[in-house]
Copies of this chain bind each other. A is one copy, B any other.
Amino acid sequence: MAERISDAEHAVMEVLWDHAPLDAQNIYDRLSDSQSWTLATVKTLLSRLVSKDALTTEAEGRKFFYRPAIERSAYVSGESRRLVDRLFGGKLSPLVAQFAQAEKLSAEDIAEIEALLRELKT
């Protein structure tokens, strides 16, 4: 299990993490803001996510309601770890350094992270 979720599929997952269960039509509607996919495309993505065990379905009449089978936090965790392992030798601090240098962290960002860390030490 734990097949990899593609970018397009991820967009669908986000909708369902935000609000589930939903049927295909509803998911399509919510995606319309950000994507210009047809209903058919959304349905394909849903099918693929079901075969990947990333979604579960509940039949209601002749239609399905879809619900995430994995936690967003698990997905986010996996993806983050992947990136950090691949690009930063598995350590978080070089990533922070990278952002600091290339992205100009705002004072606010810095304060937020510091607060976080402070809390961790208690």
**Which residues in B have their C-beta under 8 angstroms from that of A103?**
77, 81, 92
**Which residues in B have their C-beta under 8 angstroms from that of A87?**
76, 79-80
CA distance A91 to B99 in the complex (A): 10
**Which residues in B have their C-beta under 8 angstroms from that of A81?**
103
Tell yes or no: A113 within 8 A of B by CB: yes
Q: Is the CB of A91 within 8 A of B109?
A: yes
Nearest CB in chain B to that of A102: its residue? B77
Q: Is the CB of A110 within 8 A of B99?
A: no
A positions within 8 Å CB-CB of B: 7, 10, 73, 76-77, 79-81, 83-84, 86-88, 91-93, 95-100, 102-103, 105, 107, 109-110, 112-114, 116-117, 120-121
Q: Is the CB of A80 within 8 A of B92?
A: no
Q: Is the CB of B86 within 8 A of A113?
A: no
**Which of A10, A84, A95 has the most chain B CB within a 10 Å cutoff?**
A95
